Amino acid sequence: MGPVFLIAVLSAGVSVIAAVAADSLLLQRISILGSFVGLQHALNPGVAFGISFAPLLQISLIAVALLAVAWMARKTKGTVERVAYGLILGGGIANIIDRLPDGLVTDYFQVGTFPVFNVADSCITVGVLMLFWEMLIVRRRKL
């Protein structure tokens, strides 16, 4: 089992467990830093930032994007890229798993006025930022 696959499985597992826990346990908002940061149960019918398509189209678009990421991940050589692709794949898979029963994704992290998000969204975001960092900073140093 390659490192990309292992990271994808781990990040998807943690993300799905967190979503199930939020669905079951988060009955009201829990304040962490007043009204600015908290845990707040929300169901998201959209793909990202509330953008909506038909549920089957959403799952199809996400699946195609994940296949493209998986294809690109095959050629990775560096640790940063492997971790990044694993996080992106795991987060995307977790959001698909969460969406399958009812067409909705469970979100629960609330920060300021930013849309409520979840662990899977965070994995995807961190993975993309790691790829940008690798592409813009690390590779430039090698030139």
Q: Residue ranges per domain, the chain?
A: 3-142
Q: What is the pLDDT of residues 3-55, one digit of tens each?
A: 888 999 999 999 999 999 999 999 999 999 999 999 999 998 876 655 566 66
pTM to 2 decimal places: 0.85
Does residue 121 have an active-site annotation? yes
Residue among 23, 98, 102, 107 flagged as catalytic: 107
Q: What is the pLDDT of residues 43-86, one digit of tens each?
A: 988 766 555 666 667 677 777 877 888 888 778 878 899 999 99
Confidence at 135, pLDDT banded by 50, 70, 90: confident
Say how far apart CA 72 and CA 35 lie, in whole Å.
40
Does residue 23 have an active-site annotation? no
Token pair 């678009």 in the structure block, residue: 61
What pLDDT does residue 141 have? 67
